[in-house]
Amino acid sequence: MNSIKWNDQYITGHTTIDFQHKILAGIINDLIEAKRNEAADELWVDVVVDELMSYTQYHIATETELMKSYHYPGITDHSSKYADFVLELKKLSGKHTAEKTKLTDDHLTFLKNWLVDHIAVEGKNLCRFLQEKEDYKLNGV
């Protein structure tokens, strides 16, 4: 499986969100590399999955705060899509499930596709919305 190659197509125009998306892509790339290297220590994979969970929650909090502050109309849909992503991460980490799930290509495809879609659709829609807000332009990031 190919890693996520960061390029301008992933730029939303919001410096903080773009930085966070790039970090998330890097963590997913670490998981792709771990799967590629069958000798990778399972404990290391667990650490990377936990890092992805933690950073995803941080990113969710960042975007949610922006959405609430500027009354983003798509907040409910955005939140439900995050819930799907977090559920998949919980399966991988074994938290809140009866048994931990082994990292598979299907999981990696889901994580990779989810992030790419999140950036292309939700991330860019949110940033376009923010750029149209006059008070955001005055206090912009």
- Domains of the chain: residue spans and CATH: 8-132 (1.20.120.50)
What is the band of 100 on the pLDDT scale with cuts at 50, 70, 90? low
Nearest to 108 by CA among 19, 7, 15, 33: 33
pTM: 0.87
Give the dihedral of Cα atoms 85, 114, 110, 86; nearest 10 deg: -10
pLDDT tens by residue, 27-71: 999 999 888 877 566 777 888 889 999 999 999 999 999 999 999
Distances 24 to 67, 81, 111 between C-alpha atoms, Å: 20, 16, 10
pLDDT value, residue 46:
82
Question: For residue 96, is pLDDT > 50?
Answer: no
